[in-house]
């Protein structure tokens, strides 16, 4: 037990200090994950709403693609973005490989299908009565989609939470396109990998606890929004 | 002929042909449906007749229908998350939204409810809201599926009258399975059974002169009597039903098996044994055997050798002092009865 006890006390000591380096890692994690979630939601929720509501050509293959994308391994997403952003790659001229921008792009690629897939499920699950009334309002596609999102709000909030959970917890994509450069592209998950590899278990656990607290806070806020009955 | 609605939309007759759903027409198969501009057609029929599907075809909810520029209100009024007032204005421009509030007021929706969540509204309140919103739209046609079904019986006729008044020249196709609603809401009625329209015409004519026994059953005409045809006289022919000779509209040869149909509301009752004044060709003496309340009216079954059903108001029952066993004269105009082959 003394091993676990030592690790735990070291973790608590580091947490109580909460040094500059740790703050930097936490800040970058928050910025990258929230930006990737925002992009994922901004693109994925409309896509999921269209998939959930609409009957259009190409809907089925798109739905298959989204569902497959929900299970895409982060390392593969990282690899794809790496190939795109590589010096000689199609977007190599951007020169953003191994920067937080590249990490945001890679994580967005993971967030979009999750946001779209969960939204499609929530909107598609609206009752036939709700959908028929929505049709009967005779609204344009955007306005109808917006009301559908409001109506399926608890499910759409779950889509946001799932997208955030996906990006904040993954390590493969940010590691490949970010490179885990200390002070530049190191985030909580890659830092945990680093510390664990060097047998710095106290530091790794401290980072893990921060990650969990972060996820708890974001999801707590989302759950509160999810449960609040929207009136206006 | 074209008329112009208050919103300026050019109106023309609605004609839809070959309405089928699904493609084999197993649920709905209507060869032709037409309503003149500004006309009110009630689609009437029993549950499962395909009325709702027909309306959904016209509204474009299910594929395969024509393109009708119509405001559609489905059978179940759903309200969305948000205030009642917000729901009332959904899909409407500010001018229409103001008109929707006026209509909602007419339909008896309390404006004090607007600020509250729409989900707190009762079924009847939701229906009034949806109806107001639908009628406030600019389309020259409205398609309404059971628009009064969620209302209390006491309010239905008031709202029905307000609905008719609020159409402002728009045409309407209204689905209902309620005879009284049909009579108030419709100028014409199309009786739908088994996915097809069996008869279409002015409400009074269809309800009192069903073309066949399927329509008769659908519109709830209580008198369907079988017999053998007798003499003919112009457009009329007679049929012997047990001890009764019944005259009705028909074009049948003598001595064939036939059926006579007439609505319970086409039957007039006179108290006592003496036939009172009147021109009804069919008059039979009988006794009241059963009195039964059916909604707002009372169904009276008279034994005149064959059972004959009549519909009277509670007031008439009191005035005529009708009780089981009381002698009455049953009168039915020949033009209100239809004799068809059997």
Residues linked to residue B310 through DSSP beta bridges, in sequence order: B300
Residues of B in contact with A147 (CB under 8 A): 80, 90
**Confidence class for position B275, pLDDT limits 50, 70, 90:** low
pLDDT at B208: 67
Q: For residue B34, with 0-12 CB atoms within 10 Å meaning exposed, 13-18 middle and 19 or more buried, which class applies? A: middle
Q: Has residue B149 been placed in a domain?
A: yes
Q: Does the beta carbon of B73 lie under 8 angstroms from any beta carbon of chain A? A: yes
CA distance A129 to chain B (A): 7
Q: Does A57 touch chain B (CB under 8 A)?
A: no
- CA distance to B40, B160, B210, per residue, from B181 (Å): 12, 7, 18
Last-in-domain residue among B176, B209, B242: B209
Tell me, what's the pLDDT at B318? 86
Identify whether residues B181 and B244 lie together within a single domain.
Answer: no
Q: Which of A127, A135, A147 sits opposite B80 (nearest CB)?
A: A147
Mean pLDDT, chain B, as a whole number? 88
B77: nearest CA in chain A?
Answer: A133
pLDDT score for A200: 94
Determine the 3-state secondary structure of A202 from DSSP: helix
Do residue B59 and residue A136 have CB atoms under 8 angstroms apart?
yes
Alpha helices in B209-322 (DSSP H): 213-219, 314-320
Distances (CA, A) of B131 to B8, B77, B94: 21, 9, 17
Which pLDDT score is estimated for B2? 37
Q: Residue B117: its chain A contacts at CB < 8 A?
A: 229, 231
Chain B, nearest residue to A143 by Cα: B91
> Quick check: A129 contacting B, CB < 8 Å?
yes
Residue A96 touches chain B, beta carbons under 8 Å: no
CB contacts < 8 A (A, B): 58
For residue B75, give how far its alpha carbon lies from the nearest alpha carbon of chain A (Å). Answer: 9
Same domain, B250 and B316: yes
The answer to whether the CB atoms of A153 and B81 lie below 8 A apart is: yes
pLDDT > 70? residue B3: no
Domain annotation covers residue B22: yes
Q: Residues B205, B228: one domain?
A: no
Q: Of B73, B83, B117, which is closest to A136 when you measure between CB atoms? A: B73
The pLDDT of B209-217, averaged and rounded, is 78
The series of mean pLDDT values per 10 residues for chain A, 232 residues long, is: 90 89 93 97 97 91 95 96 95 95 97 97 95 93 95 94 94 95 94 95 94 92 80 41
Phi-psi region of B272 (alpha: psi -120 to 50; beta: other; left: phi over 0): left
Question: Which of A138, A143, A232 is opposite residue B71, by nearest beta carbon?
Answer: A138
pLDDT of residue B317: 86
Do B125 and B30 fall into the same domain?
yes
Are B229 and B85 members of one domain? no
CB spacing of B81 vs A139 below 8 angstroms: no
One domain for residues B155 and B8: yes
Classify the C-alpha dihedral B277-B282-B284-B289 as positive or negative: negative
Residues B110 and B240 in one domain: no
Contact B81 A137 (CB under 8 A): no
CATH number of the domain that B317 lies in?
Answer: 2.40.50.100
Classify the C-alpha dihedral A105-A106-A108-A112 as positive or negative: positive
Residue B215 lies in a domain: no
Are both B93 and B151 inside the same structural domain? yes
Is the model more confident about A123 or about B215?
A123
Residue B131 touches partner A, C-beta closer than 8 Å:
no
Task: Sort out which chain B residues have CB atoms less than 8 A from A139's CB and list them.
Answer: 90-91
Interface probe, candidates A126, A138, A144, A151, chain B, greatest B C-beta count within 10 A? A138
Residues of chain A in contact with residue B130, where contact means CB-CB under 8 angstroms, are: 133
Q: What pLDDT sits at residue A129? A: 94
B92 phi and psi angles, rounded to 5 deg: -110, 150
- Left, alpha or beta for A58 (phi > 0: left; psi -120 to 50: alpha)? left
- The CA distances from residue A6 to A181, A195, A200, in Å, are 28, 15, 11
Helices A153-169 and A201-227 cross at an angle (nearest 10°) of: 170
- Chain B residues close to A130, C-beta within 8 Å: 78, 80
Domain hosting residue B244, numbered range: 221-341
On whether both B162 and B58 belong to a single domain, the answer is: yes
- Both B21 and B82 in one domain: the answer is yes
**Contacting B residues, span 140-199, partner chain A, CB-CB under 8 Å:** none
The reply to whether A132 touches chain B by the CB within 8 Å rule is yes
**Tens of pLDDT along B62-85?**
888 887 899 999 999 999 999 999
pLDDT digits (tens, 9 = 90+) for B131-145: 999 999 999 999 999
For residue A71, give both structure tokens: 């299970």
For residue B278, pLDDT over 80 is answered with no
User: Judging by DSSP bridges, how do beta strands B171-176 and B40-44 pair with one another?
Assistant: parallel
Which chain B residue lies closest to A139 (C-alpha atoms)?
B91
Domain assignment present for B216? no
Instruction: Report the pLDDT value the prediction gives residue B11, as an integer from 0 to 100.
Output: 63
- Pair of tokens at residue B151: 């209302």
Query: Quick one: pLDDT at residue A229?
Result: 59
* Interchain pair A232, B74: CB under 8 A: no
Q: In order of start, what are the domains of chain A with their CATH numbers?
A: 21-227 (1.10.3720.10)
CATH of the domain at B49: 3.40.50.300
Contact: A132, B83; criterion CB under 8 Å: no
Instruction: Look at residue B338 and tell me whether its pLDDT is greater than 90.
Output: no
Rounded Cα–Cα distance for residues A36 and B290 (Å): 77
Residues B195 and B269 in one domain: no
| pLDDT for the residue numbered B5 | 32
Last residue in a domain, options B140, B175, B209: B209
- Place B98 in a pLDDT band, splitting at 50, 70 and 90: very high
The verdict on residue B71 lying in a domain is yes
Interface probe for B, chosen from A53, A133, A145, A226 (most Cβ of B below 10 Å), is: A133
Same structural domain for residues B58 and B108? Answer: yes
**B96 contact A CB<8A:** no
Structural domain total, chain B = 2
Q: Is A142 in the B-facing interface, judged by CB distances under 8 Å?
A: no
Q: How far is A58 from chain B (nearest CA, A)?
A: 18
Of the three residues B157, B181, B209, the one that is the final residue of a domain is: B209
């Amino acid at each position: 037990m003394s091993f676990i006890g030592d690790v735990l006390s070291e973790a608590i000591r580091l947490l109580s200090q909460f040094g500059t380096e740790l703050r930097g890692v936490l800040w970058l994690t928050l910025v990258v994950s929230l930006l990737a979630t925002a992009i994922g939601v901004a693109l994925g929720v409309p896509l999921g709403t269209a998939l959930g509501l609409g009957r259009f050509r190409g809907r089925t293959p798109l739905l298959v693609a989204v569902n497959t994308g929900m299970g895409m391994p982060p390392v593969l997403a990282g690899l794809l973005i790496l190939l795109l952003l590589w010096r000689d790659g199609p977007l190599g001229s951007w020169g953003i490989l191994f920067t937080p921008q590249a990490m945001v792009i890679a994580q967005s690629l993971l967030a979009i299908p999750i946001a779209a897939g969960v939204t499609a499920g929530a909107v598609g699950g609206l009752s036939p009565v709700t959908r028929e009334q929505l049709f009967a309002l005779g609204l344009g596609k955007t306005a109808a989609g917006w009301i559908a999102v409001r109506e399926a709000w608890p499910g759409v909030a779950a889509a946001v939470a799932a997208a955030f959970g996906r990006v904040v917890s993954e390590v493969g994509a940010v590691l490949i396109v970010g490179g885990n450069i200390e002070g530049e592209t190191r985030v909580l998950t890659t830092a945990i990998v680093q510390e664990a590899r060097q047998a710095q278990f106290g530091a790794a656990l401290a980072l893990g606890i921060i990650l969990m607290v972060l996820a708890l806070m974001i999801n707590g806020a989302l759950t509160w929004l999810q449960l609040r009955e929207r009136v206006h | 002929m074209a008329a112009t609605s208050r919103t300026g939309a050019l109106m023309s007759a609605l004609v839809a042909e070959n309405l089928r759903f699904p493609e084999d027409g197993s649920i709905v198969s209507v060869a032709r449906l037409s309503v003149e501009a500004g006309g009110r057609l009630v689609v009437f029929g029993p549950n499962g007749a395909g009325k709702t599907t027909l309306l959904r075809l016209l509204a474009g909810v299910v594929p395969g229908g024509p393109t009708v520029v119509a405001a559609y209100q489905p059978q179940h009024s759903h309200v969305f998350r948000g205030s009642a007032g917000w729901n009332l204005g959904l899909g409407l421009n500010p001018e229409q939204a103001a008109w929707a509030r006026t209509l909602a007021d007419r339909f008896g929706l309390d404006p004090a409810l607007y600020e509250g969540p729409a989900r707190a509204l009762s079924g009847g309140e939701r229906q009034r809201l949806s109806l107001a919103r639908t009628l406030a739209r600019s389309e020259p046609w409205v398609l309404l599926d059971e628009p009064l079904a969620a209302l209390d019986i006491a309010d239905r006729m008031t709202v029905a009258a307000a609905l008719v008044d609020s159409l402002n020249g728009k045409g309407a196709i209204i689905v209902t399975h309620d005879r009284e609603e049909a009579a108030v809401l419709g100028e014409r009625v199309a009786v739908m059974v088994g996915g097809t329209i069996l008869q279409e015409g002015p409400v009074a004519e269809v309800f009192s002169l069903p073309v066949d026994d399927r329509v008769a059953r659908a519109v709830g005409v209580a008198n369907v009597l079988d017999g053998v045809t007798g003499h003919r006289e112009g457009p009329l022919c007679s049929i012997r039903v047990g001890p009764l000779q019944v005259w009705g509209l028909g074009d049948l040869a003598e001595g064939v098996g036939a059926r006579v149909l007439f609505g319970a509301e086409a039957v007039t009752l006179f108290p006592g044994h003496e036939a009172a004044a009147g021109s009804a060709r069919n008059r039979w003496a009988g006794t009241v055997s059963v009195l039964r309340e059916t909604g707002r009216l009372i169904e009276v079954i008279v034994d005149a050798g064959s059972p004959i059903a009549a519909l009277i108001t509670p007031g008439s029952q009191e005035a005529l002092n009708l009780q089981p066993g009381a002698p009455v004269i049953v009168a039915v105009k020949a033009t209100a009865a239809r004799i068809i082959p059997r």
